[in-house]
Amino acid sequence: GNSVTQMEGPVTLSEEAFLTINCTYTATGYPSLFWYVQYPGEGLQLLLKATKADDKGSNKGFEATYRKETTSFHLEKGSVQVSDSAVYFCALGTTDSWGKFQFGAGTQVVVTP
């Protein structure tokens, strides 16, 4: 079946450091891939997405490239801020008509001043 594996956290960084969160997936067909962010006490917000191989999603300085050959969708940001402290979820959208999502376990990121 479809699944998403995400690196475990917490990841603790200093402000302006480089952030990478690894995400790999297994899936049949041609899934779409997403990163969602959950700030403390809030719901899931779409951060970025990619719908086909080699697509790059980007938003708010974050980027992720859909790599079919390595079945990966790693999230990166060149210079994090304290406000980026949150839990980040990698998600896979299945290609069946109903499109349910499979989520990774989530990675908590803590950015210190």
Partner 1 sequence: EPEVTQTPSHQVTQMGQEVILRCVPISNHLYFYWYRQILGQKVEFLVSFYNNEISEKSEIFDDQFSVERPDGSNFTLKIRSTKLEDSAMYFCASKRTSGGARADTQYFGPGTRLTVL
Q: Which residues bind partner 1 (CB under 8 A)?
A: 29-32, 34, 36, 42-46, 49, 51-52, 89, 91, 93-106
Q: Which pair of tokens denotes residue 51?
A: 């719908």
Cβ-based neighbours of 103, under 8 Å, separated by 6 or more: 4, 36, 89, 90, 91
Residue 111 CB, nearest distance to partner 1 (Å)? Answer: 21
Asked, as a colleague might, if the bond just before 10 is cis with ω within 30 of 0, I would say yes
Residue 1 CB, nearest distance to partner 1 (Å)? Answer: 11
Residue 50 CB, nearest distance to partner 1 (Å)? Answer: 10
Q: Would you say 84 or 107 has its CB closer to partner 1? A: 107
Cβ-based neighbours of 83, under 8 Å, separated by 6 or more: 111
Q: Would you say 8 or 16 has its CB closer to partner 1? A: 8
